[in-house]
Amino acid sequence: MDNSTSSQTAQNDLQVLRTSSLTGALVRELEHLILTGELKPGERLNEIQLSARFGTSRGPLREATRTLEAKGLVDAIRNRGVFVRSISSEEALEIYDIRAALFGLAGRLLTDMITDAMLVRLNEFLNQMDEIAQQRDFDRYYPLNLQFHDFLIKSTNNKTLAREYKSLVNKLHLCRARGLVQAGGLAVSNHEHREMVDALASGNRERAQEAFFRHVERSKQRFTTTLAK
Amino acid sequence: MDNSTSSQTAQNDLQVLRTSSLTGALVRELEHLILTGELKPGERLNEIQLSARFGTSRGPLREATRTLEAKGLVDAIRNRGVFVRSISSEEALEIYDIRAALFGLAGRLLTDMITDAMLVRLNEFLNQMDEIAQQRDFDRYYPLNLQFHDFLIKSTNNKTLAREYKSLVNKLHLCRARGLVQAGGLAVSNHEHREMVDALASGNRERAQEAFFRHVERSKQRFTTTLAK
DNA sequence: TTAGTGTAAATTGTTTACATAGCGCGCATG
DNA sequence: CATGCGCGCTATGTAAACAATTTACACTAA
């Protein structure tokens, strides 16, 4: 047996336990399972099964599922169990609108604090995405698109906004009717991105807010049109 | 003893237990204690003490506090305890911006669905508030103001929006530096309300969104100015 | 054949008990 | 008198046992 390795992992475990409780770790694990789709919408979270899987007792696991319930990732029904939440199309539309409002806020806030360095970085994003879009390389475009949006949201320095926005995006993943949406808007989307950056550069708050807002609204549109089929 | 009454309460209890677990009831109780200020920001939630108070064991109470933690009403520190969250002024400002964005969304959504009946109801609100404002009767103005905002938010029929908005307003209550803010803007505020309703009546989406957005931003302004003293 | 009922297994809700981590207080010592 | 160390208390973290409810399935009777 390797002494140094075992003591190191033990120390890692300790470090983990220092900052986060077992419950906290379970929340992250379950959230991961849900968002990656290993636990699908509508599926039940069996307490015994899951606690055995993670090597804990039911107590911490129940606390974790309560947290997930408050986060809106699962539904708990008394004496029936906890189920991965399934977002209806109607609710997805509601969420799109709220996401649009928050993203619009990001645009408005950024207008007043934009720097040349940020504009340079944003244009790098745009050029790179243009390039990839022309190659129709969706597998590379999608994560870059996420990075771009993430960069914008985080640049506002409004941590509450970042948290709420992320939470909304997560919830949209629980909508069964989603998935094929992004494929269509590839080059289209990047044109919208340019509009957003131009609006930021113009220094016009309302224009930026509107550009950011509409960007999300248009992806809502694409969602509804794919839904109609 | 009144038979019909006792059987009715028994049925009520049954109904309550049907939909909500003990944990759910605890969440509501604790939320109430926190929002009414009986449990003040920074104060610790003693598990044993509280579970004894409500006649439950620690398990359900811990689940309840996890829910409150996810809702952002308390902070949990491992091996230290759970504390009522204290919102800093900086975070309050962040929340104001997000509230503004959501309220702006409400204005935008309402513009496309406003009816004559709703405009009539809104004008009733305005007149009543004007009247009370002239009497400088703050005790009656404040709840009516809440009702007015609540009516607007709920009229959008976006339940997710209503939930998120309420959650934000709740969190603002946890800011110590708050409280004296509303007193100043009384007649001022109602003038802003008229602007909002006028914008709705105009049918201009962007204008309504901007009017609603700015209404919250101005109350943020009032917050910062009172903060400066 | 089908509807209804009773029973057993599985699962969740709750309580109790035990292990462990912080925190304060007192005592000894420089 | 100040400071550091150790002991004990209190509260939290976790696990296991107990209680209650749901669900599935087989059996009975119309």
Tokens in use for B53?
Answer: 């108070």
- CA atoms of B73 and B95, how far apart (whole Å): 14
Q: Which of A28-32, A73-77, B188-192 has the least mean pLDDT? A: B188-192
- Which residues of chain B make contact with A31, given a CB cutoff of 8 A? none
Binned at pLDDT 50, 70 and 90, residue B180 comes out as: low
**Cα–Cα separations (whole angstroms), residue A134 to A122, A138, A145, A170:** 18, 10, 14, 28
3-state secondary structure of A175: strand
- Nearest CB among A59, A161, A206 relative to B59 is that of A59
Topology of the domain comprising A89-228: Four Helix Bundle (Hemerythrin (Met), subunit A) (1.20.120)
- Convert the pLDDT of each residue in A180-217 to its tens digit: 556 556 657 788 999 999 999 999 999 999 999 999 99
Strands B74-77 and A81-84: unpaired
- Convert the pLDDT of each residue in B152-163 to its tens digit: 999 999 999 999
- CA atoms of A149 and A184, how far apart (whole Å): 18
- CA–C1' A37–D16 (A): 32
- What value does the mean pLDDT of chain A take? 86
Residue A8 confidence (pLDDT): 38
Q: Does domain B3-84 have CATH number 3.40.50.620?
A: no
Determine whether A58 is exposed, middle or buried from the number of CB atoms within 10 Å of its CB (0-12, 13-18, 19+). Answer: middle
Nucleotides of C under 7 A from a protein CB: 11-17, 21-23
The CATH 1.20.120.530 portion of chain B extends over 89-228
Residue A229 confidence (pLDDT): 74
The CATH 1.10.10.10 portion of chain B extends over 3-84
- Convert the pLDDT of each residue in A53-78 to its tens digit: 888 888 889 999 999 999 999 999 98
Q: Is the pLDDT of residue B14 over 50?
A: no
Residue A10 confidence (pLDDT): 33
Q: What is the DSSP letter of A112?
A: T
